[in-house]
Amino acid sequence: MHSIKDKRGYIIDMDGVIYHGNRLLDGAKEFVQWLHDHDKQFLFLTNSSERSPRELQEKLERMGLYVTEDHFYTSALATASFLASQKPNGSAYVIGEPGLVKALYDVGFTMNDVNPDYVVVGETRSYNYNHMEKAVQLVSKGALLIGTNPDLTGPTETGIAPACRALIAPIELATFRKAYFVGKPNPLMMRQAQKRLGTDVSSTVIIGDRMDTDIIAGIESEIETVLVLSGVSNEHTPNLFPYRPDHILNGVGSIPL
């Protein structure tokens, strides 16, 4: 196993790794500067579907990190890419934020609340009973149910909030249908990320704060894994899972040292 510093490609989770809410984490700025200085290939990979790459780029810029848009890959982009490959120029009823809607428009999908090919659910704060009822009706009539990611919860500055899998669960229960989830740990998203990086498995590492998404995604894609303890995990968390990360670090600031 090579040193983390020797890798060519870095797949990096964002929330809990680079920032927490609107607060930059210790060592993140130095780590990103090190990636630039050493001409590393890197991609910020997030299961969040709310923001577009441009919005994520602007968020990091506000925190003092300067990274171009092409360094971001979201579950919204992965979902759009998957659906475009399944049904080119299809249509969807979307429960989600503008980042998800834009990703679908960009691959040629149209929005449709009458007879869509898909019902697509991502994180959104505007979720309500009317959305749920409409989705149940459309799925019952034959629309296929897609979730941008399988996260049950997500971190906020005040605690945890229900995430995509929690929002989609009532639709699954009411229709007796199972959703297909595109985001991590689905190896599909990992392979799409690796293609964007242009690196092979042996020269790539994934860095994340969650055992159940980031670390298992790396293991199932045969990519070396780094668990950082700056997000939802602590030193005892790996003991709760039947698999282990290759490395455990306090934060990304440890990597360039």
For this structure, is 39 an active site residue? no
Give the type of residue at 57. Answer: Q
For this structure, is 37 an active site residue? no
Tokens (6 digits) for 48: 């969040």
Which residues, other chains included, contact 230 with Cβ-Cβ below 8 Å and sequence gap of 6+? 16, 17, 20, 25, 26, 209, 250, 251, 252
The H or E element that residue 175 is part of is helix 164-175
H helical segments located in 3-142:
28-37, 53-62, 75-86, 98-106, 129-140
The catalytically annotated residue of 6, 13, 117, 212 is: 13
The catalytically annotated residue of 15, 117, 151, 214 is: 15
Which residue in 27, 29, 46 sits closest to 213, CA to CA?
A: 46
Distance, CA of 190 to CA of 185 (rounded, Å): 8
Which residues belong to the active site? 13, 15
